[in-house]
């Protein structure tokens, strides 16, 4: 890479180069993709933590507490945050909401916060989340926190990017145990009952303990259960310690997980590129693509859609 290239500036900690790269990645610019390729072998150093849970459980306050904790840890440990909001009308660059939520870190050079909105396309979100985390990782952030609301596909996607997944719940949000969808529990490494000083917290912890006991034979290592009061900071240190423990898993367990994540990421991107490539190959009625004749034949009933679909796949998909 040339001296002073954007990749070099990102690696040197230039926040402006970093922000530009992330914005251009979001817009799908080829130069940004090339930079991501160049940066990829530098990833793998960061501790990437996924924080997910229903609205109102206090995820942002917990993330705020973890930022402060990791910043205090010293050695100039920089912290990146990717806040994924599937309901946000903002596009990729909106920082205002996060700066308000986490304003005490707004002037801290060692903290970088990036919001991602879905723009209605869940598949794309998964890719962007992983891309942003990878860039922050390569750029030398020691910790990357991915905060996502536990609805729809997003809470599953976070698993493909994070090394440790923390699922946050809170008492008083309906039937607490039932409110945790089965899928959410399957992805949790650590389960947190936040707002742990509220009525119902003891009961929620009891219920969850019983449930995790039932699930124990299925999970190695077992899911950790913790109580926090993010608003006062209570339990945040214990959470950070539990997260750290996960890094001390046997190498083969960590390697198996990395491979699973690589496969899930790969399949998500193949799906997205594939959809785009098929769309271009078929084209539209006014601007037909090279395989438009297949659409015409299906519409004319001379070819069934299954045989046509197989022909599309056999023709090979050239990603663009």
Do 128 and 153 contact (CB within 8 A), yes or no? no
Residue with tokens 């180069």: 17
Site string for its own copies, 38-77 (x = CB under 8 A): --xx-xx---------------------------------
Residue whose C-alpha is closest to residue 145's, from 242, 78, 191? 78
Least distance (Å) from its own copies to the CB of residue 109? 27
Do 57 and 169 contact (CB within 8 A), yes or no? yes
Cβ proximity to its own copies: between 44 and 222 the closer is: 44
Please choose, out of 51-59, 140-148, 171-179, 257-265, the segment that lies near its own copies by the rule CB under 8 A. 257-265
Please choose, out of 84-92, 188-196, 235-243, 266-274, the segment that lies near its own copies by the rule CB under 8 A. 266-274
Least distance (Å) from its own copies to the CB of residue 298? 4
Least distance (Å) from its own copies to the CB of residue 210? 26
33 near its own copies (CB under 8 A): yes
Q: Which of 19, 249, 278, 280 binds its own copies (CB under 8 A)?
A: 278
Least distance (Å) from its own copies to the CB of residue 191? 24
Classify 2 in phi/psi space as left (phi over 0), alpha (psi -120 to 50) or beta.
Answer: beta
**C-alpha R_g of the chain:** 22
152 near its own copies (CB under 8 A): no
Helix (H) / strand (E) element for 245: namely helix 236-246
Q: Which of 37, 69, 105, 158 binds its own copies (CB under 8 A)?
A: 37
Q: Find the angle CA(44)-CA(119)-CA(143) to the nearest 5 degrees.
A: 25
Return the bridge partners of 149, or none.
Answer: 53
What secondary structure does DSSP assign to 32-59, as a single string? HHHHHHHHGGG-S-SEEEEEEE-TTS-H
Chain residues that interact with its own copies, rule: CB under 8 A: 33, 36-37, 40-41, 43-44, 130, 134, 255-256, 258-263, 265-267, 269-271, 273-275, 277-279, 282, 285, 294-296, 298-299, 301-310, 312-314, 316-319
């Amino acid at each position: 890479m040339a001296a002073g290239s954007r990749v070099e500036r990102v690696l040197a900690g230039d926040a402006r180069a970093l922000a530009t790269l992330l914005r251009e990645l979001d817009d799908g610019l080829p130069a940004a993709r090339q930079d991501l390729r160049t940066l990829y072998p530098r990833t793998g150093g960061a501790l990437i933590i996924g924080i997910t849970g229903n609205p109102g459980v206090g995820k942002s306050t917990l993330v705020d507490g973890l930022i402060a904790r990791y910043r205090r840890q010293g050695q100039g440990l920089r912290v990146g945050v990717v806040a994924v909001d599937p309901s946000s009308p903002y596009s990729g660059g909106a920082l205002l909401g996060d700066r308000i939520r986490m304003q005490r870190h707004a002037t801290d050079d060692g903290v970088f916060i990036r919001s991602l909105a879905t723009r209605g396309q869940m598949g794309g979100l998964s890719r962007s989340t992983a891309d942003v985390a990878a860039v922050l990782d390569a750029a030398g952030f020691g910790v990357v926190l991915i905060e996502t609301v536990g609805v729809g596909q997003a809470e599953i996607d976070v698993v493909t990017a994070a090394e440790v997944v923390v699922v946050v719940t809170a008492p008083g949000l309906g039937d607490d145990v039932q409110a945790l969808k089965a899928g959410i529990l399957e992805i949790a490494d650590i389960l947190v009952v936040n707002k742990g000083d509220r009525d119902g917290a003891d009961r929620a912890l009891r219920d969850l303990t019983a449930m995790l006991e039932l699930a124990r034979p299925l999970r190695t290592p077992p899911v950790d259960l913790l109580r926090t009061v993010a608003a006062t900071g209570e339990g945040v240190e214990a959470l950070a310690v539990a997260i750290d423990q996960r890094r001390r898993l046997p190498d083969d367990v960590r390697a198996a997980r990395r491979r699973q994540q690589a496969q899930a990421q790969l399949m998500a991107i193949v799906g997205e590129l594939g959809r785009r490539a098929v769309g271009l190959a078929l084209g539209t009625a006014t601007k037909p693509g090279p395989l438009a004749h297949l659409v015409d034949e299906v519409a004319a009933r001379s070819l069934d859609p299954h045989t046509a679909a197989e022909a599309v796949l056999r023709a090979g998909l050239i990603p663009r």
